Homo-oligomer: A and B are copies of this chain.
C-alpha cells in the first residue's frame, strides 16, 4: 500500500503538498503539481478513504436511501432517478452508493448515521411525514429529498412542480374543449392539486382506478371499451399503465374511441417516445431532475458548515404532443 508519504518522497516534496495538489485547497506551482501528479501516477497511489474521513476531510460520498427499491411495481422512473443522481453526483466529483433500507425498520437508517462515513444522504420515495427526515434533521446530517412530504420543518428538496404539471395538462385539454376528464391512477381519491385546478377551469374529473402495470392499463382499456363513459379525455398519473392502456387499441384491438385524448403526467420522455401508441405527455425529465438533485446535494455538502441553506427546485416539463389519439378535439 503506497501512502501519500511515498508519493511525497518520490516527488521530493512534503506530505501536505501532496494532499493539497489532490484537494486543490491551496495554490501550488505548476512545477510541483506536475511532479506530484506523475509521482502519484508512477506509484499507483490510491487515497485512503477512511483516513481522509477520519482526519476531517468531507466524505466524498453521498448515500441514496431508497425504500421499496424492488417492491414497487416496475416502472422506469425509479431507475431513471437513480441513474440521474449517480451521474449528477459523479459530475461533481463525488460518488454515490445505495443504502438499502428495510421498509419498516429504522435500524438501517440508524446504522448509516452511526457509521457516519457519507457526506450526505439523498432520500427517495419518502412517505408521509417520513421518520427518516426527522432522524436526519435531528442529527444535522446534510440531506436532500427527491420528492416532498410534510414534516413540520424546512428542508432541501427537488421535486416536480405538480401544480404546473397539472395545469399544463388540464389547460391543454380545456383549450381543446374537453370538460369532463378521466384520471388514471391507483386508488380512488383525486389529488387535491388536480382537483382544485380542474374546478378553477370548471372541468369535471372521474377516477379510473388501475394498478401501474402494462396489464393494469390494458384491462382498464378493456373495461372502458365495454362501458358507457362520458368523459372525452384522460389524464394519467401512471406510466406503465398508460402504455398498456394506449396500446390496447393498436395491439389487442380493444376499441377505444378515436377522439379520446390522453395525456400522461408521470412518464419519461423516452418512454413515451418508445411506446408504439403515441402518447402525449407533460414530460417527466426524471433523469435531469435527479441529476440536479445530486448536484444540489454535493453543493450542500461542500458548503459544509457554512450553514445549510434550504434549497428547493421545482421541475415541470414541457407538454409534448405526439399526436395520435391525444390530438383529437372534442367531437361528441
- A interface list, Cβ under 8 A from B: 46-51, 53-54, 59, 61, 63, 69-71, 74, 76, 78-80, 82-83, 86, 95-100, 108, 111, 113-117, 213-215, 252
Contact = CB atoms under 8 A, between A and B. Distances in A.
Given A99-B97, A100-B97, A114 B79 contact: no
A54 B115 CA distance: 13
6 contacts: A46-B115, A49-B116, A70-B79, A74-B74, A97-B97, A98-B98
Contacts of A116: 46, 48-50
A50 B47 contact: no
A59 B49 CA distance: 12
A228 B200 CA distance: 59
Contacts of A79: 69-71
A18 to B, nearest CB: 15
B71 A115 contact: no
B96 A100 contact: yes
A59 to B, nearest CB: 8
Contacts of A80: 70
A172 to B, nearest CB: 29
B95 A83 contact: no
A59 B80 CA distance: 31
Contacts of A69: 79, 82
A117 B86 contact: no
Contacts of A49: 50, 114-117
Nearest to A107: B90
A222 to B, nearest CB: 9
